[in-house]
Amino acid sequence: MMIIIVNMNEICAIIDVQGFNLEEKFVVREFAICSDALTQTQELNPNKHWKNYSPKDQEIIKHCTKFVHGLYYCPFNDMEYAFLPHSDNIGSIIKTYYEMIATPEKAKLGFKNQFLRKILAEQNIPSIDLDNPIYEIPSIKIIEQIFGNNYHCGIHNKRPLRDPDTGKIIPFRCAYRKVSNLWRFLKNKQLEEMSQS
Ligand SMILES: [Zn+2]
């Protein structure tokens, strides 16, 4: 059997995005990064009113806001005066963080989100897709069972729904929580491997 050795120490940071997977493109509303030096979330501005989309896209937008991540399509402030980076600039935003954090020894970004694969490839950023089964990283659902899911960052303005049976809040997806939990999981994995070697 071939043994694949994966060096997680090459990862300088974990990144994630949340947004709207519309017919023409994925529109980013939240970007988050977690590393040893920095943990941050960034809101982005699509700068296009949601009513200018097709009826199908409008349904996707409403569904994602209500049930998936609680992010409204438009920023809280008027789009023209919300001094947020444009959603289309997600590639250069990631590149800026990457150049600030990466070192020759830790030259890769880790991600667990298929929307990031294309963005990272366009920017020529070395990366590790943690969805690849060779890395044996559990699903986000399982990782949240370990570290909890009882918070999200301040960008999610929609009131979360409650489970009709238990009355408990159903947490929204949050890029900030996701990268924090993934980074914590990887750190614990590294410590376990070091103690075994
Ligand atoms: Zn968030």
Q: Per-residue pLDDT tens for 12-36? A: 999 999 999 999 899 999 999 999 9
For ligand 1, the distance from its centroid to the CA atom of residue 155, given in whole angstroms, is 6
In the chain, what are the domains? 10-196 (3.30.420)
Integer Cα distance of 102 and 35 in angstroms: 10
For ligand 1, the distance from its centroid to the CA atom of residue 195, given in whole angstroms, is 33
At residue 191 the predicted structure's pLDDT band, cuts being 50, 70 and 90, is confident
Q: Looking at residue 194, what is its pLDDT?
A: 80
Integer Cα distance of 113 and 130 in angstroms: 8
Question: Facing residues of 39 across strands?
Answer: 34
Q: Whole-prediction pTM value? A: 0.92
For ligand 1, the distance from its centroid to the CA atom of residue 152, given in whole angstroms, is 5
Average pLDDT for 167-194 = 92
For ligand 1, the distance from its centroid to the CA atom of residue 62, given in whole angstroms, is 18
Share of the chain above pLDDT 70, in %: 97
Higher pLDDT, 80 or 53: 53
Beta-carbon neighbour count of residue 9 at 10 Å?
A: 13
Average pLDDT, the chain: 92
At residue 8 the predicted structure's pLDDT band, cuts being 50, 70 and 90, is confident
For ligand 1, the distance from its centroid to the CA atom of residue 1, given in whole angstroms, is 41
For ligand 1, the distance from its centroid to the CA atom of residue 49, given in whole angstroms, is 21
Q: What is the dihedral of CA 162, 163, 166, 172, to 10 degrees?
A: -70
pLDDT at residue 6 above 80? no
At residue 3 the predicted structure's pLDDT band, cuts being 50, 70 and 90, is very low
Cβ contacts of residue 162 below 8 Å, gap of 6+? 168, 169, 170
For ligand 1, the distance from its centroid to the CA atom of residue 196, given in whole angstroms, is 35
Question: Facing residues of 45 across strands?
Answer: 86
For ligand 1, the distance from its centroid to the CA atom of residue 175, given in whole angstroms, is 5
Ligand 1 is an ion; residues with CB less than 5 A from it:
152-153, 174, 176
For ligand 1, the distance from its centroid to the CA atom of residue 14, given in whole angstroms, is 14
Residue whose tokens read 């980074």: 183
For ligand 1, the distance from its centroid to the CA atom of residue 116, given in whole angstroms, is 16
For ligand 1, the distance from its centroid to the CA atom of residue 18, given in whole angstroms, is 8
